[in-house]
Amino acid sequence: MGCFFITARNSNFAKTNGHMPVYVVNAYDIHDAELFKNYPPAVRPLLQKYGARVLAMGTNATALEGVAKTMNAIIEFPDQAAVHRFYNDPEYQAIIHLRQDATTNTSMIILKQFVSKQ
């Protein structure tokens, strides 16, 4: 998979529930691919449970500056509360080790939708 660009204007979340969506940007290096392969199928139903959508992901992103990590993803959530409910869900906490034990150099940040004041 390659590098993808997204735009927040196309989000259906703000249109359907009145909340502003947020975006979780994940980047990390996979050092144990055998262990990591168990993570995506385990996390997928939990993302769906909290209304999240994977907007972009890839294992061979092209760096414009710096060094790209081996896994990068942008995930849209309905709002910041949904991110925290997802992350703190006991079901997620039971599988989080699949990602943490298989990766290093992890960065996970929450970004709010940009709204121009013009």
Mean residue pLDDT of the chain comes to: 87
Give 49-88 pLDDT, tens digit per residue: 999 999 999 998 999 999 999 999 999 999 999 999 999 9
Phi-psi region of 47 (alpha: psi -120 to 50; beta: other; left: phi over 0): alpha
Helix-helix angle 80-88:39-49, to 10 degrees = 130
Q: How far apart are CA 118 and CA 57, in angstroms?
A: 31
Contact of 97 with 35, CB cutoff 8 Å: no
Work out the average pLDDT over 77-101: 98
- Cα separation of 16 and 103, whole Å? 35
Task: State the CATH architecture for 18-112.
Answer: 2-Layer Sandwich (3.30)
What pLDDT, on a 0 to 100 scale, did the predictor assign at position 12?
Answer: 46
Query: Of 20, 25, 22, 21, nearest to 4 (Cα)?
Result: 25
Note the pLDDT tens digit of each residue in 10-59: 444 444 456 799 999 999 999 999 999 999 999 999 999 999 999 999 99
What does the pLDDT read at residue 3?
A: 34
d(CA 87, CA 92): 6
